[in-house]
Chain A
Amino acid sequence: MTESFIHNVPASMASGHGDSNLIIRSRDPSELAECLCSGNLQRICHVQVTGLDSEPDPLVEKGPGVPVDLVVGNPLEELPLLYRWTPLLTNHPVRATIPVAAGFSKAVKLAVALNFAVKLDVLQPGPPLVEELHRVLHAYLHQTAVTQPVEYFHSLLLAFYRRERLTLWTVQEEDPGLYRHVTDDGLVTPGRRFKVPDGSGYFVPEPGFVIRECESARCEHIEHCAGYFRLPAREYDCEGVKSLFRVLKGAAEDLRSDLDSYDSGSPKAR
């Protein structure tokens, strides 16, 4: 059954997971380039560069078409380094995964300005970060300069617009039913949200285990959040992130309404 998971593995262990679909990670672009030369490209979902301080050259020409995920560690410190990775765009779709930490909105602004897609790496943001998330969401929804998808906003907006069921677990590539994260020590884990509180290990959740709590709380966003923001700290106050859901839902409704009025030939819309 393990073969059905997508394993996020260090490049040094990629060959040991030959039967799995893989996300291969390394700080060293040369190491990733080697994997792209020697590995089965069809099994490589994407490669992750986990440090931006190296040069992209080895990776630029290898495995054309394989998506590259630039994992930003410290958004404010590593911000200028994003520039050196733009040559990747010649041959690869490129995404910057940016942690939602103080000042992250600047990194998002630069990443989209460089034509990188963005994935917000978000755990359980407090009020200041929720406020910053709102600023990024506003830019994503309304600014002409933002022409790239910013996840999770982008997929969720489409899900609201299409009235589709889609959870953040899927969008954020953290669904424990689909993904396994292999640590640098080789430990296969369901991901960082499933660390036990004392940090001594991981628990493997049963399907729907946190959803029951959300259901009991009668959360209006259960269909899309599915308890994503209830981990790792179960006591997290979701009100801030709920406000983001509401903005996205409202934008999707506005979009649908605009398109409906356009389709119906309303003179106002024309």
Chain B
Amino acid sequence: MGSFSLILLPTLRCNADCDYCFERKSEHCLEIDQLGIITGKVMDHMESIQRDSLCIYWQGGEVLTLPPDWYRRAYDLIGDMAEARGKRVFHYLQSNLLGYDAKWNGIISEMFGNSAGSSMDFPNLHRRLKAGGTVEYNLIWTRKLREARDAGIKVGIIAIPNSKTLELGAERFYSYFADELGLSDFQVNTPFPGGAGGEVKPGFPLDEAGLGRFLSELAEIWTRRGLEAGVRLGPFHSLSEYFLNGTKELNCIWRDNCANEFVCVGPRGHVAQCDCWVTSYPDHRFGNILDEGSLTEMLRKSGARRDLKSRPGILIEREDCLECEYLSLCHGGCPVRAFTVYGDLMRKDPYCGAYRRLFQTMENLVDSGHLEFPARGAGGGTQTAAAVAPK
């Protein structure tokens, strides 16, 4: 009996105005009674596929634009429904922290195990306040991060490299997060031009070779400086475990088929593979969970989901994935990255070359004895939404 993962977007309202965001924003918020309907249908689905635990990844929009009391009611509601049906539920929070203050401490402790995921880039070129720029964003975010950590909240960070990141190099990047911010848990995701166009989007995808070089150098820096210090840096940490132990606890972009692993539900009940599909690509939604009787049936009948499920098998025939020595690690990569770059779901991930260089570096580090233990000292880490979603 395994678990089922749900990315839940209770609102698409956001208090930031990041110019690379792929979500089409709205003020709409999920009502608590609608949450009950969604939870009931998700648990019906779990019964039909015999899963006994549910992982809910709370994302937005910005989740903290709903009040703490909303989450308390949501937590109680989901908890009661789970108990009645013999299920276990685990909640994970992904927030920009801009709305964080002490009134959140209770619910973050109770519902999210005193743990949260957030995001910041180095340098920050794109994350902005609605009535301000990147500098103001940095100031507020850094203060909120400090306050949250002072309150005992364990915060894991997702960082998206940009062209300037590649220019400044891996050492500066690592130092910012590990030394300046004092973080022991952060991860690197890759940008893609999802959603509506904008001035920034033409800059994505990043130069593949430059990104590969950056990731490779960052892997070496983490091995040299981070391992012994107990810094958990994704995806290097999970890749080191793969090359050392064969364990595959990889980000969603590298799983054999993300369509087998999770779904995303938006505040209006739209269901799709992940948040980018829900918010910006209506044609690729699976259906609406509030309108349809059964999630299981919706998933079974959905042509969009069928396309996603068939993708890795098609890539094997169309692309060079089968010749790749890292097939077992990647399976052609992320569908949303392929779609937003090429307009074609049935293409491999546009960062293929960068990933291969990173995998090669990690393998070399293991083979050369530089990575000798599976970073046990790094602890469990904060499970951010990025473990399942490409935000």
- Which A residues lie at the B interface, using CB under 8 A? 57, 60-61, 64, 79-84, 86-87, 90-91, 106, 109-110, 112-115, 143-145, 147
Q: How far is the CB of A80 from chain B (nearest CB, A)?
A: 3
- Interface residue stretch chosen among B142-150, B164-172, B324-332: B324-332
In the complex with contacts A79-B316, A80-B314, A144-B243 CB distance below 8 A: yes
Query: What are 21 A-B residue pairs whose CB atoms fall within 8 Å in the complex?
Result: A79-B316, A80-B312, A80-B314, A80-B316, A80-B317, A83-B257, A83-B309, A83-B310, A83-B312, A83-B313, A84-B313, A86-B256, A86-B257, A86-B260, A90-B2, A91-B2, A112-B328, A113-B331, A115-B248, A144-B366, A147-B246
Residue of A whose beta carbon sits closest to that of B51: A90
Within 8 A of A (CB), among B293-311: 300, 309-310
Q: Which applies to chain A's interface (DSSP): helix, strand, loop or mixed?
A: helix
B363 at the interface (CB under 8 A from A): yes
Partner of A113, one of B309, B310, B313, B328: B328
Judge whether B50 and A145 touch: CB under 8 Å: no
Residue of A whose beta carbon sits closest to that of B245: A147
Judge whether A110 and B322 touch: CB under 8 Å: yes
Q: How far is the CA of A115 from the CA of B49 in the complex (A)?
A: 20
Q: How far is the CB of B169 from chain A (nearest CB, A)?
A: 29
Partner of B322, one of A64, A81, A90, A106: A106
Contact residues in B for A143 (Cβ distance below 8 Å): 325
Judge whether B331 and A84 touch: CB under 8 Å: no
Judge whether A109 and B327 touch: CB under 8 Å: yes
Judge whether B246 and A109 touch: CB under 8 Å: no
Q: How far is the CA of A86 from the CA of B248 in the complex (A)?
A: 14
Q: How far is the CB of B7 from chain A (nearest CB, A)?
A: 19
Q: How far is the CB of A81 from chain B (nearest CB, A)?
A: 7
- Not counting A83-B309, A144-B366, A145-B327, a sample of 10 additional A-B residue pairs whose C-beta atoms are within 8 angstroms of each other reads A57-B300, A60-B49, A61-B50, A79-B322, A80-B314, A81-B313, A83-B256, A91-B50, A110-B327, A147-B328
Q: Which 6 A-B pairs have the closest CB atoms?
A: A80-B313, A113-B328, A147-B246, A83-B313, A61-B50, A145-B328
Q: How far is the CB of A162 from chain B (nearest CB, A)?
A: 22
Q: How far is the CB of B50 from chain A (nearest CB, A)?
A: 4
In the complex with contacts A86-B256, A90-B2, A145-B329, A110-B49 CB distance below 8 A: no
Q: How far is the CA of A79 from the CA of B328 in the complex (A)?
A: 14
Contact residues in B for A110 (Cβ distance below 8 Å): 316, 322, 327
Q: How far is the CB of B369 from chain A (nearest CB, A)?
A: 11
B251-270: CB near A (< 8 Å → 1, else 0) gives 00000110010000000000
Q: How far is the CB of A40 from chain B (nearest CB, A)?
A: 21
Q: How far is the CB of A33 from chain B (nearest CB, A)?
A: 12
Q: How far is the CB of A119 from chain B (nearest CB, A)?
A: 19
Contact residues in A for B322 (Cβ distance below 8 Å): 79, 106, 109-110
Q: How far is the CA of A90 from the CA of B310 in the complex (A)?
A: 19
Residue of B whose beta carbon sits closest to that of A55: B300
Q: How far is the CA of A180 from the CA of B25 in the complex (A)?
A: 64
Judge whether B329 and A61 touch: CB under 8 Å: no
Contact residues in A for B2 (Cβ distance below 8 Å): 90-91
B127-146: CB near A (< 8 Å → 1, else 0) gives 00000000000000000000
Q: How far is the CA of A145 from the CA of B325 in the complex (A)?
A: 8
